Amino acid sequence: MREEMQDDLDLLSLHLVSNLGPIRIRRLLSRFGSAAEVLKAPLSDLVRLQGISRELAQAIHTAAHDGEAQREWAHLEAIKGWLLTHDNPLYPIALKQISNAPILLEGIGQLKDLDRHAIGIVGSRHTTFYGLECARQFSYKLATAGLTIVSGLARGIDTAAHQGALAAKGRTIAVIGSGLGQLYPPENKALAERIIDHGAILSEFPFGSPPNPQTFPYRNRVVAGWSSELLVVEAGPKSGALITANLAMESGRQVYAVPGPINVEGSAGSNRLIQQGAKLVTCAEDILEEMQQLFHSPTQADNSNLSDDERLLLHALATEQTIDDLVEQTGLAAAKVCSSVLSLELKQRVKPLPGQRYTRV
């Protein structure tokens, strides 16, 4: 077995220990240096660490030999799944910054480097036509701009957000509140299959775990933590989307909200978020403009912070161009053009124009 695979299996063994959790696991890794060393540590050494009871220490010893990690790995291999560990280059930096970031996630599909440019979109399961249309339109335009759309595969707004990204032939990631072997809700199976082809489905829970009310707040913190922005489209006064928004705010994320009619209960939560400091947005361009302002503008002659692809695109943008024009001129893949143009927008080197055209600043 490859050394990296054994390292992942050792980390998976710790991850599967009930009630251990990512904070304690990181404490153990800091003390012992690796998951393998944690699994080999004497009980007396384990219980000296804050938060590790004798029962937990015994469970860690049992995990070293019970074969649970190997069985979990076999389930993942059967569906061409994989592990995203906290030290994987594709694990987003933004997610690492939350206090209880997952030590690993199980996934199916494919993550890409461009998925670090992401925005979470959430809202109520019980929504209106207005909410669904807003979610699809925002998601479509943000995905077209090159952002990966992160949501929870739930009914309502989550579903519409994934659909909008897919309609734009963009990237989308679903973070679910059950194991990968228990996709929920069942009516979204076909949607999940499309997401696998254009992004990934991720779970923090063991493969066969069913959804329950306790798992969804854990799922919400991953959606909130994946990127530095979160959009709430429609949320009632008790919507789970408000939990996600509060988690995002607590982690220093920028939260946006789409306003709704004041006499509709389904908009009460999102309207309240605006009162509490979420930025009111009425179109995707509001978000993209706000994101641009988070970056300092370099001098016109300074191209040192540009990738080769960005330099190539900047040269092509001497005149107004569409994404299709840029694909044809540069020979780059459409996904690469979208992500690089977005990066250039954030660096304030190009700007969007009416008709989905772009030009150099």
Whole-number Å distance between alpha carbons of 269 and 272: 5
Report whether 111 contacts 200 (CB < 8 A): yes
**pLDDT band of 293, cuts 50, 70, 90:** low
CATH of the domain at 63: 1.10.150.20
> Same domain, yes or no, for 62 and 163?
no
Q: Are residues 179 and 261 in the same domain?
A: yes
In terms of domains, do 273 and 339 share one?
no
In the predicted structure, residue 1 carries a pLDDT above the cut 60: no
H or E element at residue 143: helix 129-144
Quote the CA–CA distance of 191 and 42 in Å, as a whole number. 47
* Residue 212 covered by a domain: yes
CATH number at residue 337: 1.10.10.10
**CATH number, residue 168:** 3.40.50.450
Percent of the chain residues past pLDDT 70, beyond the cut: 96
Question: Would you say residue 89 lies in a domain?
Answer: no
Q: Report pTM.
A: 0.80
pLDDT band, residue 305 (cuts 50/70/90):
low
Using alpha carbons only, how large is the chain's radius of gyration in Å? 22
For residues 254 and 290, the answer to whether their CB atoms sit within 8 Å is: yes
Task: Indicate the pLDDT class of residue 335, thresholds 50, 70 and 90.
Answer: confident
- Lookup: tokens for 58: 């015994």
Whether residue 317 sits in one domain with residue 285: no
Q: Is the pLDDT of residue 132 over 90?
A: yes
The residue-averaged pLDDT of 9-17 equals 96
Same domain, 211 and 71: no
Q: Report the domain count for the chain.
A: 3
Contact 131, 161 (CB under 8 A): no
When comparing pLDDT for 18 and 353, which is higher? 18
Per-residue pLDDT band for 300 (boundaries 50, 70, 90) equals very low
Last residue of a domain, one of 292, 317, 332: 292
Is pLDDT above 70 for 62?
A: yes
Is residue 100 situated within a structural domain? Answer: no
Residue 299 has pLDDT above 70, yes or no: no
Q: What would the pLDDT profile of 74-121 be if each residue is shown by its tens digit?
A: 999 999 999 999 999 899 988 998 889 999 999 999 999 889 889 999
41/151 same-domain check: no
Q: What is the pLDDT of residues 254-280, one digit of tens each?
A: 999 999 999 889 899 999 999 999 999
**Domain finish residue from 233, 261, 292:** 292
Structure tokens at 131: 């909410």
Asked if the structure places residue 188 within a domain, the reply is yes
Q: Are 149 and 237 members of one domain?
A: yes
Query: How many CA atoms lie less than 13 Å away from 260 in the CB half-sphere?
Result: 30
Query: Residue 5: what pLDDT?
Result: 84
Give strand pairing partners of 104.
85
Distances (CA, A) of 264 to 95, 234, 235: 34, 10, 10
Please check the confidence at residue 337 and state whether its pLDDT lies above 90.
no
User: Is residue 2 very low, low, confident or very high in pLDDT (cuts 50, 70, 90)?
Assistant: low
pLDDT of 294 > 60? The answer is no
Indicate whether 213 and 317 sit together in one domain.
no
Domain match, 62 and 186 both: no
Instruction: Indicate whether 355 pLDDT > 80.
Output: no
Residue 316 domain-assigned? Answer: yes
Q: What confidence category does residue 222 fall into, taking pLDDT thresholds of 50, 70 and 90?
A: very high
Would you state the pLDDT for residue 276?
93
24 belongs to a structural domain: yes
146, part of any domain: yes
203 close to 227: Cβ distance less than 8 angstroms: no
| Residues 6+ positions from 106 with CB-CB distance below 8 Å | 72, 76, 81, 82, 83, 84, 179, 180, 202, 203, 204, 205, 207
Distance CA 327, CA 162 (A): 24
Residue 324: which domain range? 308-360
Looking at the fold, whether 150 and 223 belong to one and the same domain comes out as: yes
Give the pLDDT of residue 308: 85
Within-domain flag for 91: no
Distance CA 155, CA 240 (A): 12
Say whether both 112 and 249 belong to one domain: yes
* 318 in the same domain as 199: no
